[in-house]
Amino acid sequence: MYTDYFGLREKPFELSPDPRFLYLSEGHKEAFAHLKYGIMERMGFVMITGDVGTGKTTLVNALLEELDPEIRRVHLADPGSTTEDLFAPIKKALDLPVDEVTKGKFLPALHDFMKNELGGNEPVLLVIDEAQRLSPAMLEEIRLLSNIETPTTRLFEIFLVGQRELDVMLQARELRQLRQRIGVKYHLNPLNLKDTQNYIVHRLQVAGLQHRPFKGDELFSPEAIRAIYNHTQGYPRLINIICDSALRAGYAKESVQIDRKTVSEVIRDMKVSYEVRQKRGHLKFAWILIVGLLMAVLAYGLQKHGGVLKVSPQVDTEVETQAESKDTVVTDESQPSPVSQVAESELREVLEEPVETSPQPSQQQMPEPKIPTAAVTESAPREVKRARIKRSAIALNVRNREPTGVSERVSVRQQRVYCWMQVVDGQGGKVIVRWISKGQKVGETHLRVGSKSWRTWSYITLRPGMVGLAEAQILDENGQLLETLSFEIVE
């Protein structure tokens, strides 16, 4: 619609992960290098994580296009939830001679194919996208696939690509074997302001914007790009949505340039649309709640009156009489069941009517004893909050309060290594990071915890004498050990 008007061959901001439009920021270059290194060095497992819309899938697609066509690859965009969902695409890609994809028949056939037909020279690349959706049992099945190897080389190269929840999952104790096999890790962060500008220009150039059909500056003004960055915080998918809508709005107004006003109008319209959908969702929830309350009333009536909900003026009279005299006792010949008592309690909370529970005929109604307020205050337990570690990692750097270059093996040439953590329920206190190398303490840092969910980190300068096994111990302010992160320092 707007392509001819702005001098474009195609739409530049489609949401599909087309590798032609990949813009390699510094972070994307580093992630791309990690992927290539994992294949070239036969690292076995490579893990790339990032928030929704940071360009993980586009990055993987670009790598697959660059690989040698002789390398067999299996790309799972949706890993599924069963072993059959995992085995079936592998069987199809490798053309395995097996009729069923049950575990008992598939694994022996795959083992023979990898060792006999490939001869150990040609690896098979398995790329699993959206890996954070995998269950621990499925992750263990994937780990077992990596056991197919020769004495000298690995035959399966496995890429796990997912959101940051994947890294949290792998901290579980039952997945420690898989965690130890991951040779390369990298977390992909959003773009900064400069990269956002370069990203927009790059996609426009790929889409054919060689020259402007009218005089003027860049298609998107610097103020418009800053507004886009402020709203999207550098997430490529959100940038695409805003830019595409802004081009359509500029075409409708016959603008020669997308300025800040146009972008602001697009963002405002998107917020209004979201608020309308949110209000509709609230109305839907309200109707569900009303229907649920009506069903509860019906169930209560059926339970109490033996199948029919009876409504008569006497009910109002009884309620008014009870409101006027608290000593009046209303008795019932039938003993209410636990289900009816629950329904009766829920009705009182919703309608807020002062209806008293009818006592049993054989029981005498006694006034409840009054408990002094001071006694209640003294006996009530006091909630004591203790710092907990929600996430932690050994990393080569920290950018935008997130770890980058997460690894369990660090070269002394990196000069620094970081212990990053997310602390919860420790506000107002502190945590201690104690660095241990070869069994001796080489450093200690006291970190303040400033909010309920606080991201912080400590680093230590590496020296040649520290080569070997090391660990970072995380303790609370009382010196109690919260977590230990082990890693290896190599030359």
Q: Domain spanning 26-188 has what CATH number?
A: 3.40.50.300
* Superfamily per CATH, domain 388-490: Macroglobulin (MG2) domain (2.60.40.1930)
- pLDDT (0 to 100) of residue 243: 94
Distances (CA, A) of 240 to 217, 247, 289: 21, 11, 38
Q: What residues contact 59, with CB distance under 8 A and at least 6 apart?
A: 22, 28, 31, 32, 35, 48, 188
Q: What residues contact 354, with CB distance under 8 A and at least 6 apart?
A: 322, 323
> d(Cα 434, Cα 212) in Å, to the nearest integer?
59
> d(Cα 305, Cα 166) in Å, to the nearest integer?
54
CA dihedral 160, 162, 166, 170 (to 10 degrees): 10
DSSP label at residue 55: S
- pLDDT (0 to 100) of residue 346: 43
- pLDDT (0 to 100) of residue 95: 82
pTM of model > 0.85: no
Residues in the chain: 491
Q: Domain spanning 3-15+192-269 has what CATH number?
A: 1.10.8
Q: Domain ranges in the chain?
A: 3-15+192-269, 26-188, 388-490
| The two three-digit tokens of residue 42, written as one number | 């036969």
> d(Cα 340, Cα 327) in Å, to the nearest integer?
24
- pLDDT (0 to 100) of residue 240: 93
Question: 138-146 long-range contacts, Cβ below 8 Å, gap at least 24?
Answer: 138/79, 138/81, 138/82, 138/83, 138/86, 139/169, 139/170, 139/175, 139/178, 140/174, 140/175, 140/178, 141/83, 141/86, 142/86, 142/178, 143/177, 143/178, 143/181, 144/107, 145/110, 146/44, 146/45, 146/181
> d(Cα 50, Cα 403) in Å, to the nearest integer?
11
| The two three-digit tokens of residue 258, written as one number | 């997308």
Angle formed at CA 141 by CA 136 and CA 142, multiple of 5 degrees = 95
At which residue do the structure tokens 């359509």 appear?
248
Sign (positive or negative) of CA dihedral 92, 98, 101, 107: negative
Instruction: Cite the beta strand spans of 67-193 per DSSP E.
Output: 72-76, 124-128, 156-162, 182-188
Contact 165, 135 (CB under 8 A): no
Among residues 487, 478, 426, which one has the least CA distance to residue 460? 487
DSSP label at residue 8: -
Contact 91, 101 (CB under 8 A): yes
3-state class of 433 per DSSP?
A: strand
Residue 377 main-chain phi, psi, to 5 deg:
-65, -40
Diameter over CA atoms, the chain: 96
Q: What residues contact 420, with CB distance under 8 A and at least 6 apart?
A: 392, 393, 394, 395, 398, 402, 403, 455, 456, 457
> d(Cα 125, Cα 145) in Å, to the nearest integer?
12
- The string of DSSP codes covering 356-415 is PPPPPTTS---PPPPPPHHHHHHHSPPP----EEEEEEEESEEETTEEES--SEEEGGG-
Q: What is the mean pLDDT of each run of 10 residues along the chain (491 residues)?
A: 84 88 90 85 85 89 84 81 82 81 81 71 82 88 80 78 88 88 88 93 86 60 92 92 92 88 89 50 69 79 57 41 38 41 42 41 44 38 61 87 85 86 82 88 86 84 85 88 88 80
| The two three-digit tokens of residue 121, written as one number | 């020279």
Kindly tell me the number of DSSP H helices and DSSP E strands found in the chain: 15, 15
